[in-house]
Amino acid sequence: MASLFLQNGAGPERSLEDRYPPCTGNFRARSVIRFCRDSTRTRFVETLHYPQDEEKEVADCIFCKIAGGEIPCAKIHENERVLSFLDIGPINPGHALVIPKKHSATILEMDPADLEACIVLCQKVARAVLKATGAPGLNLLQNNFRAAGQLVDHAHFHLIPRLEQDDFLRSWPAKSYSPGQLDQMLEKVRAAF
């Protein structure tokens, strides 16, 4: 029979509620992915949401306040779904953000139509930023969760104009797979897909 557990590498299995008890206040992980394991494979079952935390998150969310016009921003463009404005702490001048107007903490929970609208606007803003700054390069960056550097818990896309001599992302610490590791990883990712 299949058993429910949270995939977390080595270590004893613990129940979902034990590891991620629903709570109020500044609870960071408002959604938890549940996996199901049987004798042969691990597969995705569902994402659990914590609506009581989400409500607080929206009420406190700086990008929701910007989208709602409560806080000003250096607006580049908006439509009914998405908004773009200059980042207040740019990596380089012209660094812009694209956000969905509807709150979503990370890209994982985003409405696909909002996601599509964001990507389309990213392309337009990228062109404008490159033209306006004359920068020779641009990164599209999207951080999810603290471990990946996300500080504002409202999904957003960074459009970062890049200069030849700037100090951002200058190293790409690529690793390699040992024999068999790539295939194992592929199997896991496909099973979770």
Kindly list the residues in this chain that would bind Zn ion in the complex (CB under 5 A).
Answer: 61, 63-64, 103, 154
Smallest distance from ligand AMP to CB 64, Å: 11
Active site residue 49: no
| Helix residue ranges, H only, the chain | 16-19, 51-60, 62-67, 112-133, 181-192
Residue of 95, 103, 154, 156 with catalytic role: 156
Nearer to Zn ion, 63 or 157 (CB): 63
Q: What angle do CA 67, 92, 170 make, to 5 degrees?
A: 120
* Residue 77 CA, distance from chain mean position: 21
Based on the number of CB atoms within 10 Å of its own CB, is 115 exposed (0-12), middle (13-18) or buried (19 or more)?
A: middle
Task: Identify which of residues 35 and 82 has a Cβ nearer to ligand AMP in the complex.
Answer: 82
In sign, the C-alpha dihedral spanning 149, 152, 158, 161 is negative
Identify which range of 32-40, 102-110, 147-155, 167-175 contacts ligand AMP by CB under 6 A.
147-155
> CB of 101: closest distance to ligand AMP in angstroms?
15
Between 35 and 94, CB nearer to ligand AMP:
94
151 part of the interface to ligand AMP, by CB under 6 A = yes
* Percent of the chain as helix, strand, coil, to the nearest 5: 30, 20, 45
Residue 133 sits in the site that holds ligand AMP (CB under 6 A): no
**Residue 87 near ligand AMP by CB under 6 A:** yes
Rounded Cα distance between 23 and 165, Å, is 46
163 binds, among Zn ion, ligand AMP, none (CB under 5 to 8 A by kind): none
- By CB under 6 A, name the binding residues for ligand AMP: 62, 73, 87-89, 143, 149-152
